[in-house]
Structure 1
Amino acid sequence: MEKNIRDGATIYCTLGTCKSKLIIPKEKNARINGEGQAVVSDNVVGVNITNFCSCTRSFPPPPCTPAIVLKWQLADKKHKIQGELAILDKCILPCLNGGIIKIEKSGQIKE
């Protein structure tokens, strides 16, 4: 069963050398039971997405600087939170540096 993604979910980039956490700002309206829920527009570097240490696209690996221009992909068109498509654990976020950001853990209490 697909899971909603919430604040603090563990994410990784296929070219990154470390994992990160998805950040949903407290003022964001997409909430379920008071918990911040991720939607496709939660793709902003420095707000929702931080770096993944180093980028292995070249050698030696330079510091990771995510370059995101698209929203989260593969969202279920029927699954919305306050009018926006929700991110589910199958969603991906392409980086212009060649990596794909994926969800490792949903941030739900029960994984």
Structure 2
Amino acid sequence: MAKQVCMGAMMQCSMGMAPSSLVPTPKTVMTSGVMAANIMDNIPIMNIPPFGMCQSPSNPVVAAATAAALGVLTPMPCVPATPAPWAPGAATVLVCGMPALNDSSKLTCIWGGSISINFAGQVTHDIP
């Protein structure tokens, strides 16, 4: 069963070298005591922080550095470029009028990376 993604969720890009933490746009909907995310939380830098170094040859900065290194792949600082929303999102749950972001959703970077959720950010507490 998919989990609702919220503030503090950990993400990984297939072309990035480090994980990153999702920062949802401010909303009134909470889950596990923190702000819930929806599929429109895809704005680079604001919602999607960098993933360390980018190693995608499709990224012009990486391509230039690789060419300068005579063809040796040279990772460069990540600057996510995510123009489309997360997909597919929750089919039956809305967060502030948009489909909720669940941990099975993916986000595509134009440099060829696929961003996935490693940890949804939800925590459960046992009640004695």
Q: TM-score, normalised by structure 1?
A: 0.90
Counterpart residue number, 1:17: 17
Counterpart residue number, 1:36: 35
Counterpart residue number, 2:52: 53
Counterpart residue number, 2:67: none
Between 1:80-89 and 1:96-105, the stretch displaced more is 80-89
Percent identity, aligned pairs only, is 31
- Kindly provide the CA deviation profile for residues 64-87 of structure 1, in whole angstroms up to 9, marking residues without a partner as x: 111110000111221212321100
Counterpart residue number, 1:89: 103
2-side partners of 1:106 and 1:33: how far apart? 11
Alignment length (residue pairs): 109
Counterpart residue number, 2:112: 98
* Runs of 4+ more than 3 Å apart: none
Counterpart residue number, 1:2: 2
Mind listing any 5+ residue stretches in structure 2 that lack a counterpart? 58-72
- Name the one with the larger helix percent: 2
Q: Is the 8 A contact 1:23 1:48 kept in 2?
A: yes
| Larger Rg computed on CA atoms | 2
Mind listing any 5+ residue stretches in structure 1 that lack a counterpart? none
Q: Is the 8 A contact 1:30 1:39 kept in 2?
A: no
2-side partners of 1:6 and 1:94: how far apart? 19
Residue 34 of structure 1 and its aligned partner are, at CA, apart by 4.8
Q: Is the 8 A contact 1:31 1:81 kept in 2?
A: no
Q: Is the 8 A contact 2:12 2:117 kept in 1?
A: yes
Check if 1:72 corresponds to 2:100: no
Q: TM-score, normalised by structure 2?
A: 0.79
2-side partners of 1:103 and 1:5: how far apart? 8
Find the residue that maps to 2:116 and give its secondary structure.
strand
The CA RMSD measured in Å over matched residues stands at 1.5
